[in-house]
Amino acid sequence: MGESDSRGQPPENNIRLAPYLEWIDLADVWRLKEAVCKSVDGQRRRLTEIARYIHDNPELGSEEFKACELLTRELEENGFEVQRWLLGIPTAFCATSKGREKGARVAVLAEYDALPGVGHGCGHNLIAASAIGAGIAASKVMKELSGEVLVVGTPAEEGHGPYAGSKVIMAEKGFWDGIDAAIMLHPTSTRWAVGSRSLGIWTVKMEFQGQTSHAAASPHEGVNALNAATLAYMATHMLRQEARRDANLVIHGIISEGGLANNVIPDRAVCDFGVRSSDGVYLEKMVDKVEKCAEGAALAMGAKVTMTKKRLYSSMKLNLPLIQTLWQNYKDQGVDITDWKETVDGMPMASTDFGDVSQRTPSTGSYIKIATEGTPGHSRQLAAASMTKEGLDAMIIGTKALAMTLVELLAEPEKLKEAREYFKTH
């Protein structure tokens, strides 16, 4: 940021970039960052209570009523304007804290759904606490800034219930288009990182229909749907050999129905596949090929096939300017964080509905390390790790990084502009 002759006089270029934002100099940005960090420290006890309550009351996706009630009440008590039942989703919400003038809208995302059997084995209780903490901390300095800070509650990330992958539903309804940047964190046992990629995923269901017949006395009168399914299963797996290596193709499937008795030729068999890739365009092509495998198998066996293809989650669209900003706010706290360049080149392992947010607006996630390496994800051990001192310390660091990023983006409009430009051109 350039020097100004007299304080409060914005330099030319900044006026052009964002006329609605009053210029704030670098020292002020540091002061604001310090203020939000102090606020987060002050909230530690309360954030621990929030994380504990959600941890002790695990709710499956689309049913996170207790968590939603606690989080929205907390935000309301801290001066946020809260919209419940966001877009008709019972456990989604949007809480807004406004600055002194209109301006950019930056969002921190909360998740709070648990897993069957292992409770908060994905540590979403910490995601919720961090989003609340970061949002509240940022709201404390909003009187000095223009724009809005949003805390958005996004249910059912683990894909349960009628609002499974709610960020996708929100994307389809255009919700993210009205937001200038979205950030969040996720607990893990592997490493501290910002800028991880994720895999887009489609599900493909193949339902084969044949003709039952006596398997010994009149096999010639039957059409074996299981044989068609088996052939489709094999053909789909053979696609792997021609997979583009840089596109991280993953195909995983099962035969979920394959007949009822061995002496009856099955007239119904079903294959369920997941197809993933880090390249969304390539992924669609591969899904078409999977469909051809099913059609070919049905043709060969004289069966019929009904296909149901569904795009579940998009892959993560990386936004380097945003990644660098969030990364720096971890680094400045002395965190031993993986170099972002290494992370963005790393192999994407999983899929998330945050990918769909990233396709609509500049977004980046971050990983906080809450447990010793080797602690499996989606496990009781990780759920327990979320409430250890190590887990809570990591959550506080992450909350500060998120809060600092929120105010930095509002205080330095050229950073948001850069993120927007990058989003448009990549």
Binding site for Zn ion (CB under 5 A): 122
Provide, rounded to whole angstroms, the least separation between the CB of residue 398 and Zn ion.
14
Alpha helix positions (H), 302-339: 320-331
Please tell me the distance from the alpha carbon of residue 151 to that of residue 79, in angstroms, as a whole number: 12
Closer to Zn ion by CB, 283 or 382: give it: 382
Provide, rounded to whole angstroms, the least separation between the CB of residue 291 and Zn ion.
28
Closer to Zn ion by CB, 33 or 120: give it: 120
What are the C-alpha distances in Å from 27 to residues 3, 147, 411?
Answer: 11, 20, 11
Two tokens at 282?
């390539």
Closer to Zn ion by CB, 138 or 151: give it: 151
Provide, rounded to whole angstroms, the least separation between the CB of residue 121 and Zn ion.
8
Provide, rounded to whole angstroms, the least separation between the CB of residue 157 and Zn ion.
6
Which residue's CB atom is positioned nearest to Zn ion? 122
Q: Give yes or no for a contact between 222 and 265, defined as CB atoms under 8 angstroms apart.
A: yes
Kindly state the helix (H) or strand (E) to which residue 74 belongs, with its residue range: helix 65-77
Question: Residue 360: CA atoms inside 13 Å, Cβ hemisphere, count?
Answer: 22
Provide, rounded to whole angstroms, the least separation between the CB of residue 379 and Zn ion.
10
Beta bridge partner(s), residue 369: 188
Tell me the residue type at 34.
Answer: E
Q: What is the DSSP letter of 32?
A: H
Provide, rounded to whole angstroms, the least separation between the CB of residue 312 and Zn ion.
14
Closer to Zn ion by CB, 103 or 391: give it: 391
First to last CA, the chain: 25
What are the C-alpha distances in Å from 201 to residues 160, 204, 275, 351, 366?
Answer: 16, 10, 6, 7, 20
Say what the alpha-carbon torsion angle 5, 7, 13, 18 is, to the nearest 10 degrees.
-170
Two tokens at 169?
């539903």
Provide, rounded to whole angstroms, the least separation between the CB of residue 31 and Zn ion.
34
Q: Which residues contact 88 (CB under 8 A, 6 or more apart)?
A: none
Closer to Zn ion by CB, 122 or 149: give it: 122
Closer to Zn ion by CB, 92 or 122: give it: 122
> Hey, is 60 helix, strand or coil?
strand
Q: What is the DSSP letter of 223?
A: B
